[in-house]
Amino acid sequence: MSRMPESHPYCLPRVPRLPLLGAAALLAFGTLAAPAQAAGQSSAVVAPPVSGAARPTAPPVVTPTPQHMESTGRDLRVPDRVRLVLGDGVDTASVEVVKKALASAGAGRVDTVEAQDASPAPRARRAELTVVAGSVEDPAVAEALRASGGTVPDAPVAEGYSLVSRDDTVVLAGNDGDGVYYAAQTLRQLVTGKHSIAAVSVTDHPAMPLRGSIEGFYGAPWSHADRLDQLAFYGDIKANTYIYTPKDDAYLREEWRAPYPADELADLRELIEQATAHHVDFTYALSPGLSVCYSDPADVNALKAKLGTLYDQGARSFYVALDDISYTRWNCDADEEKYGAPGRGSAGQAQADLLNAVQHDFIDTRPDAEPLQFVPTEYSDTSDSAYKSVLRAQLDPKVVVQWTGTDVVPPSISVADAEAASTVWGRKVFLWDNYPVNDYGQTTGRLLMAPYDKREAGLHKALSGIVLNPMNQAAASKVALFGGASFAWNDEDYDPGRTWRAAARYLADGDPATTRALLAFFDTQHLAPTFGDTDWQPQAPELGARLADFTEAWAGGDRARRQAALRELGAYAEVLAGAPAQIRAGVRDPAFLAQTKPWLDALDAWGSSLEATLDGLRTRLHSGSGESDFAEAAELAKRAAAYTTIPGTTRPQGTIKVADGVLDTFIEQAPTM
């Protein structure tokens, strides 16, 4: 598998993404559509609901979980016509998210006006909905926020925002352009019905500056369409980082000095533009370690020139990957002459010289470029070494260092682990989390779709960010990526199960039956292995618990208890057997359906096998037979176990695993129960 790069680890304002639509001179909020009020009441303050008013309702689930969110009363009614007032700092992407959210809430027409052109809404229309969006530094937006009961932050945090929806007004006040966009993404999740939006007050910002993914696995890289789709998805989940470093891109590793062909360079430019449109940093990662001569100025210049090519396409975040290489030998004699015999200390010095040259001569000469990111050769522990010691002392402090945890695939990551890594590297580390990547032997035949878990709350104090290394199956990776982005945004209030269910709802487009089917499917792909014999997530915990309860009831129960157990397990078996068809009917993402096809096909057969097994037990309970049902179940299980991964995609190839060790064991043992 591979390791990870980084992005800016500092909470600095990010570069605006798209041309702004706001105005320089803005009118005070009093000239905008004000909240409904009694004659003579000041528009500066909206009082909280008084005694006798409708009680506040519980806010809907929003992911990532906001830092602060509370109800402000009864849901807002969304009429057919809505007024959208734009202040400074609103880009095209943010406007589109707001408009789509309003349309999903029943608005048939959205009248958009820039604040400088806004005039007071006619008194007869004061009850209609007005949405104000813009930078909190815009006086009109700030006043709108105050008038709706929100608070203007004294020290705005990068990417943060405030949102208040109350009475007939919604205010989206971003601390910067990213914050406006993220406020819009929260608004999208506040739609509670065809003509309603939840009334809430939100104050929010990310705990970690860097959140997203690193395409760093071995095997078939994602397709161009996969990447475009992923970048749009990252915007939805408030992830801001995508590191491009597929191991099988020859122009990143074996041919790192060679220029890209025109068509591939055009594809990279399109990815950069897509990332920018969705408030994501496209980080280009070059891997010269297999052949670089550290002491050769020509190689150093070739590296900077290659990065410059991507800078010319719009990239502003860059990364040098020196993972998965040998540092016990040099690639050229000149390195031994300059640095001495190969070894940890000399390798550290050579790498420090290379990285410092890129930071000083390339990054520092481009004010809009972000700090260089770097994954070291020693990336997966917290022990000190001559290699780390040299880099800690010599590497420019601006360079961001990545770390994979206490192992290549760690079973857990604690705050103490991250603090130890930050100490040994002399800076906050950037976590490259090797989950849900499935490019190693223990993952053969598996999708890794358990919740993102076993990462300790408080990690934001020791990490500059987290990126997950996903699967070859891009669309199926969204389940874990959904959780990783949520954890990095708010690790102190992260709930793995809640976020897992939210990911299923997202893929199901909110449909309850499809959500349930997806969760049943995810449960059969729950096992998460490490490089060793220890699994850090169990296989099929929901199904396993149900089968254990059934087995206990069957072994120790009378006829009535056994019948009840059959009814209960039979209902879940029906969900499991019907899940593939429900998913195919309810999931609108064709890539998800295509990439999970052999697993859905296998689950179809396994589910039918479980139903046949229960038919056998039911028949035995009533007549003492059931052998034909058990024979059918065995045949279906044999068919289910024969499905294989799609050739040319997953590495390594193999037979499909579905709740292995749980479902197959029960079906095999049931005839002897």
- Do the domain assignments include residue 20? no
Q: Which residues pair with 203 in a beta bridge?
A: 68, 162
User: Are 119 and 68 in a shared domain?
Assistant: yes
Whole-number pLDDT of residue 418: 98
CA distance 11 to 358: 22
- Do the domain assignments include residue 412? yes
Task: Give the structural domain span for 72.
Answer: 29-37+55-204
> Parallel, antiparallel, or unpaired: how do β-strands 200-204 and 210-215 relate?
unpaired
Amino acid at 211: R
- CB contact at 8 A, 192 and 60: yes
DSSP letter for each residue of 507-522: HTTT-HHHHHHHHHHH
Can you tell me the mean pLDDT for 374-392?
A: 96
% pLDDT > 70, the chain = 90
User: Are 486 and 404 in a shared domain?
Assistant: yes
Whole-number pLDDT of residue 48: 36
- The string of pLDDT tens digits covering residues 566-612 is 999 999 999 999 999 999 999 999 999 999 999 999 999 999 999 99
Whole-number pLDDT of residue 116: 66
Residue entry with tokens 């010095």:
349
Whole-number pLDDT of residue 128: 86
Can you tell me the mean pLDDT for 69-89?
A: 96
User: Are 483 and 546 in a shared domain?
Assistant: no
Whole-number pLDDT of residue 37: 33
DSSP letter, residue 459:
G
The dihedral formed by the CA atoms of 222, 226, 230 and 231, expressed in degrees to the nearest 10: 100
In the chain, the number of structural domains is 3
- The string of pLDDT tens digits covering residues 293-312 is 999 999 999 999 999 999 99
The dihedral formed by the CA atoms of 501, 506, 507 and 508, expressed in degrees to the nearest 10: 80
The secondary element (H helix, E strand) that includes residue 135 is: strand 129-135
- Do the domain assignments include residue 222? no
Q: Nearest-5° angle of CA 497, CA 421, CA 472?
A: 50
Residue entry with tokens 């007050």:
201
Kindly report the CATH number assigned to the domain that includes residue 374.
Answer: 3.20.20.80
- Do the domain assignments include residue 592? yes
User: What are the backbone angles phi and psi of residue 402, rounded to the nearest 5°?
Assistant: -95, 155
User: Are 489 and 599 in a shared domain?
Assistant: no
Read off the tokens for 199: 């009334």
CA distance 363 to 369: 6
- CB contact at 8 A, 412 and 455: yes
Cα 572 to Cα 178, 384, 405, 547: the distances in Å are: 43, 51, 38, 10
User: Are 546 and 496 in a shared domain?
Assistant: no
**Residue 625 — pLDDT band, cuts 50, 70, 90?**
confident
CA distance 173 to 8: 24
Residue entry with tokens 């309003």:
102
DSSP letter, residue 89:
T
DSSP letter, residue 475:
T
Report CA 560 to chain centroid distance, whole Å. Answer: 47
CA distance 148 to 655: 58
Length of the chain: 673
Q: Nearest-5° angle of CA 343, CA 344, CA 348?
A: 115
SS3 content of the chain, % helix, strand, coil (to 5): 40, 15, 45
Whole-number pLDDT of residue 568: 98
> Parallel, antiparallel, or unpaired: how do β-strands 196-197 and 191-193 relate?
antiparallel
- CB contact at 8 A, 429 and 466: no
- CB contact at 8 A, 188 and 238: no
User: Are 150 and 199 in a shared domain?
Assistant: yes
> Parallel, antiparallel, or unpaired: how do β-strands 241-244 and 281-286 relate?
parallel
Single residue among 154, 172, 204 that ends a domain in this structure: 204
Read off the tokens for 566: 């059959």
- CB contact at 8 A, 168 and 126: yes
Single residue among 183, 204, 225 that ends a domain in this structure: 204
User: Are 368 and 436 in a shared domain?
Assistant: yes
User: Are 192 and 303 in a shared domain?
Assistant: no
Q: What is the pTM of this model?
A: 0.91
CA distance 604 to 574: 11
Cα 553 to Cα 565, 622, 661: the distances in Å are: 6, 17, 21
Report CA 324 to chain centroid distance, whole Å. Answer: 25
What sign for the dihedral angle of Cα 130, 134, 136, 138? negative
The secondary element (H helix, E strand) that includes residue 497 is: helix 496-507
- Do the domain assignments include residue 581? yes
For the question of residue 558 being annotated catalytic, the response is no
Read off the tokens for 364: 């520092």
- Do the domain assignments include residue 416? yes
Cα 157 to Cα 13, 160, 266, 475: the distances in Å are: 8, 5, 35, 32
Q: Which residues pair with 320 in a beta bridge?
A: 286, 374
Single residue among 155, 189, 204 that ends a domain in this structure: 204
Residue entry with tokens 């980084």:
6
Whole-number pLDDT of residue 56: 55
Can you tell me the mean pLDDT for 633-655?
A: 95
- Do the domain assignments include residue 221? no
Can you tell me the mean pLDDT for 135-149?
A: 96
Residues 299, 324, 523, 629: which is the catalytic one? 324
User: What are the backbone angles phi and psi of residue 46, rounded to the nearest 5°?
Assistant: -110, 115
- From 147, 150, 200, select the one nearest 175 (Cα to Cα): 150
- CB contact at 8 A, 268 and 242: no
Amino acid at 537: Q
- Do the domain assignments include residue 84? yes
The secondary element (H helix, E strand) that includes residue 564 is: helix 559-586
User: Are 357 and 496 in a shared domain?
Assistant: yes
For 39-48, 207-216, 317-326, 506-515, which range has the lowest pLDDT when averaged over its residues?
Answer: 39-48
User: Are 332 and 410 in a shared domain?
Assistant: yes
CA distance 530 to 143: 53
CA distance 657 to 411: 21
DSSP letter, residue 158:
T
Kindly report the CATH number assigned to the domain that includes residue 617.
Answer: 1.20.58.460
With a cut of 80, say whether residue 535 has pLDDT above it: yes
Q: Nearest-5° angle of CA 79, CA 85, CA 91?
A: 115
With a cut of 60, say whether residue 55 has pLDDT above it: no
- From 322, 318, 293, 295, select the one nearest 305 (Cα to Cα): 318
- The string of pLDDT tens digits covering residues 267-300 is 999 999 999 999 999 999 999 999 999 999 999 9
- The string of pLDDT tens digits covering residues 188-203 is 999 999 899 999 999 9
- Give the orientation angle of helix 627-640 with respect to helix 597-623, to 10 degrees: 170
User: Are 458 and 564 in a shared domain?
Assistant: no
- CB contact at 8 A, 379 and 432: yes
User: Are 411 and 544 in a shared domain?
Assistant: no
The per-residue pLDDT of the chain, averaged, comes to 91
With a cut of 70, say whether residue 8 has pLDDT above it: no
Whole-number pLDDT of residue 120: 53
CA distance 234 to 481: 9
DSSP letter, residue 363:
I
Whole-number pLDDT of residue 249: 87
With a cut of 50, say whether residue 231 has pLDDT above it: yes
**Residue 19 — pLDDT band, cuts 50, 70, 90?**
very low
Greatest Cα pair distance in the chain: 86
**Residue 557 — pLDDT band, cuts 50, 70, 90?**
confident
Kindly report the CATH number assigned to the domain that includes residue 188.
Answer: 3.30.379.10
User: What are the backbone angles phi and psi of residue 381, rounded to the nearest 5°?
Assistant: -155, -175
DSSP collapsed to 3 states, 301-351: HHHHHHHHHHHHCCCCEEEEECCCCCCCCCCCHHHHHHHCCCCHHHHHHHH
Environment class of 534 (CB within 10 Å of its CB; exposed 0-12, middle 13-18, buried 19+): exposed
